[in-house]
């Protein structure tokens, strides 16, 4: 079996967090749904996804989930939670990570990710590794308002944008109620700014 045979520590607290907010909780969510987002451009693919908390603020769908990076019952050295968001206003594919983290994809075999590009914004380029198929896509996806938001908030982690969706990882967050609440609070601001493409 891929992933642990028992519910990881803290699963009950995540279930209680979801129940208190009328959020759908699934300790063993449908893995195929997450695999359709792969391959990730900047992050490793975990062995499985656990403890999914799902809700649908119109017109989007949000899934907060724990990526389990070890096989079997061995607990990962670091546990975390990431967000998958679908939104029809997201149009472009580009990815960025600010800082190196345990989820950062360091080796690429097949398929290769989009190439690393710079945006011509020194404040962004000196702290972010940005990937996109063209510099123009990266500049439009991570447009000035979105870059300013992330830099002002001291964002550390990964954001992968693609047509219709986004994946957001905040570094150093654990699968705990407090960090689930923080991620759920941050997501709308990021997505609402991301969809405001310059005219």
Q: How far apart are CA 58 and CA 116, in angstroms?
A: 33
The pLDDT score that the predictor gives to residue 151 is 98
The predicted-structure confidence for 49-79, as pLDDT tens digits, reads as follows: 999 999 999 999 999 999 999 887 788 889 9
* pTM for this predicted structure: 0.95
The pLDDT score that the predictor gives to residue 74 is 81
The pLDDT score that the predictor gives to residue 70 is 87
The predicted-structure confidence for 77-128, as pLDDT tens digits, reads as follows: 899 999 999 999 999 999 999 998 889 877 666 678 899 999 999 999 999 9
Q: How far apart are CA 156 and CA 169, in angstroms?
A: 8
Q: Phi and psi at residue 10, in whole multiples of 5°? A: 90, -5
Across the chain, what does the average pLDDT equal? 94
Q: How far apart are CA 68 and CA 47, in angstroms?
A: 6
φ/ψ region of 135 (left if φ > 0, alpha if ψ in -120 to 50, else beta) reads alpha
Rounded to 5°, angle at Cα 21 from 82 and 55 = 50
Alpha helices in the chain (DSSP H): 11-20, 31-35, 122-125, 135-141, 144-152, 177-194
């Amino acid at each position: 079996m891929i992933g642990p045979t028992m519910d990881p520590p803290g699963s009950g607290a995540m279930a209680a967090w979801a129940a208190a907010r009328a959020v759908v909780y699934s300790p063993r969510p449908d893995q195929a749904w997450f695999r359709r987002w792969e391959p990730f451009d900047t992050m490793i693919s975990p062995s499985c996804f656990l403890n999914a908390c799902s809700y649908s603020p119109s017109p989007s769908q949000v899934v907060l989930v724990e990526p389990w990076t070890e096989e079997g019952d061995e607990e990962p050295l670091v546990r975390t939670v990431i967000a998958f968001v679908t939104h029809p206003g997201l149009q472009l594919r580009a990815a960025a990570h600010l800082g190196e983290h345990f989820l950062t994809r360091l080796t690429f075999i097949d398929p290769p990710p989009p190439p690393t590009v710079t945006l011509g914004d020194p404040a962004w380029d000196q702290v972010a590794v940005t990937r996109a198929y063209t510099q123009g896509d990266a500049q439009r996806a991570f447009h000035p308002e979105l870059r300013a938001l992330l830099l002002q908030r001291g964002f550390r982690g990964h954001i992968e944008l693609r047509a219709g969706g986004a994946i957001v990882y905040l570094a150093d967050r654990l699968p705990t109620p407090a960090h689930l609440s923080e991620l759920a609070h941050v997501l709308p601001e990021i997505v609402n700014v991301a969809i405001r493409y310059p005219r």
